């Protein structure tokens, strides 16, 4: 299968504004931000989408959410609040087939999403 855009960001073939990295995860600013703070947290190991995650991905998914909360804290969003979003499939608005968790904050976010 051909590499996804996010795999090319992980391997530094495509530049990104990276805000966090460890052995299993990478986080970088969204190129088309929908809020003053808009960061994507991705696993380095490819899981196409949350709907395809397996029981063996349990630890990775836990790490992803804990890292998202930690990054949100580091970016100053703990007090004002923020939203974590995982889009899955066409109706979910998923455009890149590599699991990613959006961190959105820095403004009041409407609910429900349009």
Residue number, 40 or 77, with CB nearest to ligand AMP: 40
* Whether residue 112 has a cis bond before it, omega within 30° of 0: yes
- Applying CB under 6 A, among 26, 87, 101, 104 the residue interacting with ligand AMP is 87
In the complex, minimum distance from the CB of residue 38 to ligand AMP, in angstroms, rounded to a whole number: 7
Does residue 82 sit in helix, strand or coil?
A: strand
Q: Where are the beta strands (DSSP E) in the chain?
A: 18-21, 25-29, 37-43, 82-85, 101-105
Binding to ligand AMP by CB under 6 A, coded x per residue (else -) over 49-68, reads --------------------
Window contacting ligand AMP (CB under 6 A); options: 28-36, 57-65, 69-77, 105-113? 28-36
- Applying CB under 6 A, among 3, 14, 51, 89 the residue interacting with ligand AMP is 14
Residue 18 CA, chain-centre distance (Å), reads 12
- Structure tokens of 107? 């403004």
Residues classed as catalytic: 100
């Amino acid at each position: 299968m051909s590499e996804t855009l996010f795999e090319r960001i992980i391997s530094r073939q495509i530049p990104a504004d990276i805000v966090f990295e460890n052995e299993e995860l990478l986080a970088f600013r969204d190129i088309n931000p929908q809020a003053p703070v808009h960061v994507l947290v991705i696993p380095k190991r490819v899981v196409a989408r949350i709907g395809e995650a397996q029981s063996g991905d349990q630890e990775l998914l836990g790490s992803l959410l804990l890292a998202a909360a930690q990054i949100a804290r580091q970016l100053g969003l703990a007090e004002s609040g923020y939203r974590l979003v995982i889009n899955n499939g066409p109706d979910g608005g998923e455009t890149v087939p590599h699991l990613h968790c959006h961190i959105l904050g820095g403004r009041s976010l409407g609910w429900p999403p349009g």
